[in-house]
């Protein structure tokens, strides 16, 4: 009964398990990703839930905050995992722009009460604030004045200011890998590469044409998204526009080269789809697109900073929010462009034209 149907189902399973690459993307990669995130972020029991700066000032010298932090860490519920650092107000604002802290605290002059400064639209900052307030309330609620909250509106300290450069960087990565990598895989599947390789066309020019096309498309997408957030959210570029153009081109070079290397021998659409997801998904999670990677353990941060998407997103944030120029983004731009050239020539060396 329905034997042809069950035969077809069995055929699909055999086709699936015949490809070892597909088994890796389907079973091994999710396990590896969950392990990496579990180790990096933590699974409770002291995982850092937020980083907070306390502002050193004449009204609140370092000795005051040292004692305040010690008391906060000795209260019931001290396993909140919040990390504290003592900074000046200017240092705290810069750290907030970089995503190194979730909020900062100032002492109210003439009392032991405190004020919390953060963007109320940031879920991460809200959670850190609520966790800290709940912890402080647990000690002597009848004798404690609740902390005041101040909504930050300084350019670069809002969550949207943190988010937009990350989204722009992620769009460059996704557009290059799907627009170049997947397009080249499809051309190979359709047996068109063999015909093109038989023409007098220089092979490197064929691949370079994909990069130039995608660079123009990415530039249009970049401008469209920026114009929207400029007029709707008031996001501004505080740094050098030429430096932004330089890091934009370098980022496109890095991910275009990676797309060419990735697609150099792939002829199976399932494998191609798995490869692209294996590259984009971990970097999107780890590179601080939606939340700061500074919440990871200290040992993980240097590794995360070496990812191409992290270098691109950090450079864009420094230009958008910190007023950075060529000097600040020269090194990451050089590294990204160098990686792109390395990936391109490696892909050319092993490229399969049939």
Distance CA 258, CA 326 (A): 25
Q: Are 323 and 239 in contact (CB under 8 A)?
A: yes
| Tens digit of each residue's pLDDT (9 = 90 or more) over 285-298 | 888 888 888 877 78
Average pLDDT along the chain: 82
Look up the pTM and report it. Answer: 0.80
Please identify which residue in the block is written with the tokens 């839930």: 49
| Tens digit of each residue's pLDDT (9 = 90 or more) over 145-194 | 667 888 887 888 888 899 999 999 999 999 999 888 888 888 888 877 77
Domains of the chain are: 50-151 (3.40.190), 159-350 (no CATH)
Backbone angles phi, psi at 85, to 5 degrees: -145, 145
Distance CA 49, CA 84 (A): 11
Distance CA 134, CA 116 (A): 14
Distance CA 350, CA 334 (A): 25
Q: How far apart are the first and last CA of the chain?
A: 43
Q: Are 282 and 299 in contact (CB under 8 A)?
A: no
Lowest-confidence segment of 30-34, 143-147, 290-294, 343-347 by average pLDDT = 143-147
Tell me how far CA of residue 98 lies from CA of 45, 163, 315, 317, in angstroms. Answer: 27, 11, 10, 7
pLDDT score, position 247: 96
């Amino acid at each position: 009964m329905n034997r042809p149907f069950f035969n077809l189902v069995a055929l699909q399973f055999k086709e699936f398990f015949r490809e070892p690459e597909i088994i890796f993307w389907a079973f091994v990669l999710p396990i590896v990703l969950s392990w990496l995130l579990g180790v990096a972020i933590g699974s409770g029991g002291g995982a850092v839930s937020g980083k907070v700066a306390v502002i050193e000032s004449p009204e609140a010298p370092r000795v005051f905050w040292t004692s305040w932090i010690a008391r906060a860490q000795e209260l019931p519920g001290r396993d909140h995992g919040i990390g504290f650092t003592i900074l000046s107000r200017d240092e705290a604002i810069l750290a907030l722009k970089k995503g190194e802290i979730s909020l900062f605290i100032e002492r109210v002059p003439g009392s032991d009460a405190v004020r919390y400064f953060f963007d109320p639209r940031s879920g991460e900052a809200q959670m850190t604030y609520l966790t800290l307030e709940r912890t402080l309330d647990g000690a002597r609620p009848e004798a404690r004045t609740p902390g005041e909250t101040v909504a930050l509106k300084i350019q670069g300290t809002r969550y949207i200011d943190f988010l937009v450069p990350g989204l722009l960087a992620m769009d460059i990565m996704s557009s290059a890998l799907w627009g170049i990598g997947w397009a080249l895989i499809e051309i190979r599947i359709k047996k068109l590469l063999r015909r093109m390789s038989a023409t007098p066309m220089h092979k490197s020019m064929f691949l370079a044409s994909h990069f130039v096309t995608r660079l123009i498309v990415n530039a249009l997408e970049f401008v469209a998204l920026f114009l929207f957030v400029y007029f709707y959210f008031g996001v501004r570029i505080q740094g050098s526009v030429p430096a932004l153009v330089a890091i934009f081109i370098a980022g496109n070079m890095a991910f275009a080269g990676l797309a060419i290397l990735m697609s150099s021998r792939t002829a199976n659409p399932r494998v191609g789809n798995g490869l692209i997801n294996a590259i984009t998904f971990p970097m999107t999670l780890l590179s601080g697109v939606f939340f700061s990677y500074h919440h990871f353990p200290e040992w993980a941060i240097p590794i995360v900073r070496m990812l191409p998407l992290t270098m691109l997103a950090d450079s864009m944030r420094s230009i958008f929010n910190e007023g950075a120029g060529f000097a600040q983004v020269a090194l990451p731009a050089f590294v990204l462009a160098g990686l792109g050239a390395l990936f391109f020539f490696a892909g050319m060396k092993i490229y399969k034209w049939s």
